Structure 1
Amino acid sequence: MRSASFGWTAHGTPLHDAGAATTGRDGRLELADVGRLARRAARGLVGVARAEERETLSSLLHAHLAAPVEELDVVEESRPAYEHVNVQAGLDAWLAADHRSHRLVGIVGHQHRQFGLAELLEGVGGNHDPFGPRPGNVSRVNLPSGPGGRVASCVRCAVYLVDDHGSPLAVLLRGAEPESGLTTVTVEITGADAATVATAAHEIQDLATTHNVFRGQVLSFDHEVFGHGGTLLQLHERPAVGPEDVILPEAAAEAIRRQVVEVARHKDRLLSAGQHLKRGLLLYGPPGVGKTHTVRHLVSSLTDTTVIQLTGGALSLISEACSVARALQPAMVVVEDVDLIAEDRDLHSGAHPLLFQLLGEMDGLAEDADVVFVLTTNRADLLEPALAARPGRVDQAVELPLPDAEARRRLFELYAGTLTLDRSNLDAVVERTDGVTASFVKELLRRAALFAAERGSGGESLAVTAEDLDAALGELLDTRNAMTRVVLGGTGHAVRED
């Protein structure tokens, strides 16, 4: 073993052995620099000499497949980016079969690179491209798989070297990379036996549908606000809204329930009798009468149904929503404020592709498709010409009117919740709220509860007096709150008492 020597240079800097890294203050080459450069040169020469011995993706694929490259066909399947979690679930289920084993090889350097299995087989990347795709650690991304923040770990880019009952296969899984121009998740498969490759691709696709994590969930589509304009899919908790929470005229409630819930309940008997299941329901009425609340009740009632909700800017994603609905039957597609895609033609000339695309999707479903479309609108008059031009898409249109006196009384009881409510003057309040919406009643009770809280009402629950209720109603009916009444749906015959 070589012993270290210590001393001082003429410049007064510490001198270690010749192998130590030192730098002269005047920048002149010193003995330590020579040793360091020599070691670096030696490492470079060794790296070049051994480059061909390092594993590459190409060498791994060739060794596993043991077949001439020119004889290998590559089968590719692609799905929208939001389906990545389902593709992973299908691939994992396929790999889990008892007669299959596999080795997972991560790929690094894949970002901003256009390549597939064919390019990897030809040696793209390789030892002469230190920044190209090459074997490395497996990178994963957590993707939404359920409400409440539930996620599933998915591979971003990797090769599975599979032994399928003695037949070697290679599977490349690559997630979407919008920043690189890749907008879909892809699965590529190759192997010497073309029949095995085709069967594997078909089985993985079927299993991705069978193990689809969106099945039976409540979903909503939207566009990315920032980023690359991709499609976002969110999963929500299923609401709990019972029939006692929906205050509608009995005939309207019965028509809605029969068209949506009862058809789903008796679908087997209907199908055996040759009756179709696909159906369309239109809920129309002024803002604030409970259209969205009624939809929430329907979503709550169909616990095993996949629900896809479209609203606002997501109305352009009709084809994506209907595609998911077809694959995950039984399903319900909810299109809120559908009049937004049915403007008056006198104002905007030309066709209305989104509305007619929706009607076309509704018409294009098979007769036995267990899919229900629920449309809501504040402006049924805008929809009428289009629906009349294409009859049969909507089977039932139900008007949700302004609540009458009995309905308003029931709304007071519903929205009171745990409040201790003085009902001594409730008849007068009900009479004065003629022409208001359910939203108006809900806000009225909230304001009365606030008055009770500010007054210092004691106890665990707030005690709302008749005076609180009158004061809240007077405030809402005050001329200074005209716009508030408009947005709450209180522009009817509500009476202001001076």
Structure 2
Amino acid sequence: MHDNGYVVATSSGAVYGGSMGGPAPGGAGDGALRPELADVGRLLRRGVRGVVGAARAGEAPTLTSIVREHLGDGSGELPVVEETWAPYEHVNVQAGLDDWLASTGGAVHVVGVVGFRHQRFGLGEILTDQREPWGPRPGNVARVNLPAGPDGEVRACVQCAIYLVDEGTDRTALLVRAADPESGQTRVSLQVVSTRDGRAAEAAAGVRAATSAANVFRGKVLSFGHDVFGYGQTLLAFQRRPDLDADHLVLPPETLEAVERQVVGVAAHKERLLAAGQHLKRGLLLYGPPGVGKTHTVRYLTARLTGTTVIQLTGDALGLIGEACSVARALQPSMVVVEDVDLIAEDRGMHPGQHPLLFQLLNEMDGLAEDADVVFVLTTNRADLLEPALAARPGRVDQAVELRLPDADARRALFALYRGGLDVEDGAADDAVARTDGVTASFLKELLRRAALVAGDRLPRVSRSDVAHALDELLDTRNAMTRTLLGGGTEVTLRSPADDVD
């Protein structure tokens, strides 16, 4: 062939030839595709398939024919009962539905639905055979794995399917659809029809009750977020419950007692309190400067309240107060944690309609029933921003506890806590305590880590001079920003004579 030509061999043995820049294979010119005898057979087979497919189109099973055959005559007149849930409840609906189906004792057949995306339909449309050419039809069951617990635990949840239940004299069909906001399906839905009067309503109520009983959120630590189940949708994520005892919480005894009595004590004496006519709902405010242990105290309470549902709201999730309180009411006993609550404390009068979140929170706290075993724990660095709103609505927060910067005894305890497995020379703790008046626990934790880095190859042995060197480094004016971020106080002092002891 010519230097600028090409040759392409196909799997059938046909060869296309041409010149670079010339007509493409199959086009006009010398490289045109030429028919073969085998092409006649291919065309015949394609024609036969088309004719057979068209002839048997009416015999192919559809969702309508499948459901009607299950329900029998008159199925098009049966009433449809519907229940819906928030999108983040999908995993609980699946758990409840599975439990309810097992409890019926009947035979269950699952029909997968494909082509359901961007389609508005329900059992009513299916039973009346109002089909679109590209609408929902029978197919494989589509499932999605959703979080069902901490440490990556998941549950396979049906996205769209019809459950056909045969209980002998009663026949029931249930259509389950996951939320699909892009298609206008904003909630998880369950639609039910049954051949026996009232059975559809019984089944829907039974699934709802089973969903509540099998709720995988119950007794777990949860945090709210956005944009995982679709734009604007709410996510509940599982967090591991911390393992933290009182030895890891350095607070003055009277402060720890006040916190425990309000949160843990009420939970421990719930039955006696109710019998005596006392309410269970309560609110605790932890306030103080940054770094004094407010979040650490919340972690301690979370660890103590085993079996209690804990719902955490921080950052951009503070706008989900309504959803958090709804979950808390449903999953009692529960604790709602709102950290940095001052972020939603702007005066409503300054921004009409734009910042009602603190008022919504206070309304949710006040709206709980007297016997609701729900505790609200709020934290703030700016109690002055909250005081006017809390004073205007007394009783929502019934205990405010101030957490202060650690005194000398507390700093000594923190030093002992954070030293871990380090073998720190005697006297180093005294030196550090004497020079760190006004610092936070975070500062002391970083101090010991840096002292370990200074010691280097001598670890786990850490000398007094190692600690002094690390402290001097943290107190150096070049580390002013680092010191501020760690909560370094303003009353710290530079090297003392005792620090020179090796």
TM-score by length of 1: 0.90
* Superposition deviation, residue 26 in structure 1: 4.5
* Structure 1 position 171 matched with structure 2 position 171: no
Q: Which residue is equivalent to 2:467?
A: 469
Q: Which residue is equivalent to 1:268?
A: 271
Distance 1:57 1:225, change over 3 A: closer
Q: Aligned AA for 1:352?
A: H
Give the whole-Å Cα distance in 2 for the aligned partners of 1:156 and 1:370: 34
* Superposition deviation, residue 364 in structure 1: 0.6
**Structure 2 unaligned regions, length at least 5:** 1-11, 15-25, 497-502
Aligned residues: 471
Distance 1:170 1:113, change over 3 A: same
* Superposition deviation, residue 328 in structure 1: 0.6
* Superposition deviation, residue 194 in structure 1: 3.8
Task: Encode CA deviations 1:352-386: one digit per residue, 9 max, x unaligned.
Answer: 31111111111111100000000000000000011
Task: Encode CA deviations 1:437-488: one digit per residue, 9 max, x unaligned.
Answer: 11111111111111112xx115xxx211100111111111111111112111
Conserved 8 A contact 1:107-1:135 = yes
Conserved 8 A contact 2:468-2:495 = no
Task: Encode CA deviations 1:316-356: one digit per residue, 9 max, x unaligned.
Answer: 11111111111110000000000000135686566731111
Q: Aligned AA for 1:109?
A: G
Which deviates more from structure 2 when the two are superposed, residues 32-41 or residues 327-336? 32-41
What is the aligned-residue RMSD (CA, Å)?
A: 2.1
Conserved 8 A contact 2:192-2:200 = yes
Q: Which residue is equivalent to 1:487?
A: 485
2:246 to 240, 243, 247: 243
Give the whole-Å Cα distance in 1 for the aligned partners of 2:255 and 2:223: 27
Conserved 8 A contact 1:99-1:165 = no
Q: Aligned AA for 2:490?
A: G
Give the whole-Å Cα distance in 1 for the aligned partners of 2:96 and 2:482: 52
1:71 to 55, 77, 81: 77
Distance 1:426 1:97, change over 3 A: closer
Q: Aligned AA for 1:440?
A: F
* Structure 1 position 278 matched with structure 2 position 284: no
Q: Aligned AA for 2:306?
A: T
1:45 to 39, 45, 51: 51
Distance 1:355 1:165, change over 3 A: farther
Conserved 8 A contact 2:347-2:355 = no
Q: Aligned AA for 2:273?
A: L
Conserved 8 A contact 1:125-1:134 = no
Q: Aligned AA for 1:429?
A: A
Task: Encode CA deviations 1:91-111: one digit per residue, 9 max, x unaligned.
Answer: 000000253221100011112
Task: Encode CA deviations 1:278-304: one digit per residue, 9 max, x unaligned.
Answer: 100000000000000000000000011
Q: Aligned AA for 1:134?
A: R
1:380 to 363, 383, 392: 383
In the TM superposition, 1:37-436 aligns within 5 A as: 37-125=43-131, 129=133, 131-164=134-167, 166-224=169-227, 228-343=231-346, 348=351, 352-436=355-439
SS in structure 2 at match of 1:141: strand
SS in structure 2 at match of 1:372: strand
Conserved 8 A contact 2:390-2:397 = yes
Which deviates more from structure 2 when the two are superposed, residues 429-438 or residues 393-402? 429-438
Which deviates more from structure 2 when the two are superposed, residues 480-489 or residues 371-380? 480-489
Which deviates more from structure 2 when the two are superposed, residues 435-444 or residues 484-493? 484-493
* Structure 1 position 447 matched with structure 2 position 447: no
* Superposition deviation, residue 260 in structure 1: 0.4
Give the whole-Å Cα distance in 2 for the aligned partners of 1:428 and 1:494: 11
Distance 1:491 1:119, change over 3 A: same
Distance 1:73 1:198, change over 3 A: same
Distance 1:362 1:137, change over 3 A: same
Distance 1:350 1:141, change over 3 A: closer
Conserved 8 A contact 1:271-1:277 = yes
* Superposition deviation, residue 81 in structure 1: 1.2
Distance 1:298 1:165, change over 3 A: farther
Q: Which residue is equivalent to 2:458?
A: 457
* Superposition deviation, residue 492 in structure 1: 3.5
Conserved 8 A contact 2:423-2:461 = yes
Conserved 8 A contact 1:71-1:192 = no
Distance 1:438 1:179, change over 3 A: same
Give the whole-Å Cα distance in 2 for the aligned partners of 1:346 and 1:471: 52
Q: Aligned AA for 1:57?
A: L
Give the whole-Å Cα distance in 2 for the aligned partners of 1:183 and 1:311: 25
Q: Aligned AA for 2:475?
A: L
Conserved 8 A contact 2:336-2:374 = yes
Give the whole-Å Cα distance in 1 for the aligned partners of 2:240 and 2:473: 36
Conserved 8 A contact 1:140-1:154 = yes
Conserved 8 A contact 2:225-2:236 = yes
Distance 1:348 1:487, change over 3 A: farther
Give the whole-Å Cα distance in 2 for the aligned partners of 1:464 and 1:389: 54
SS in structure 2 at match of 1:234: strand
Q: Aligned AA for 2:115?
A: G
**Structure 1 unaligned regions, length at least 5:** 1-12, 16-22
Conserved 8 A contact 1:283-1:400 = yes
SS in structure 1 at match of 2:472: helix
* Aligned-pair identity (%): 62
Q: Aligned AA for 2:458?
A: S
Distance 1:202 1:98, change over 3 A: closer
SS in structure 1 at match of 2:489: coil
* Superposition deviation, residue 33 in structure 1: 2.5
2:494 to 486, 493, 496: 496
Q: Aligned AA for 1:442?
A: K
Q: Aligned AA for 1:444?
A: L
Q: Which residue is equivalent to 1:478?
A: 476
Give the whole-Å Cα distance in 1 for the aligned partners of 2:393 and 2:436: 40
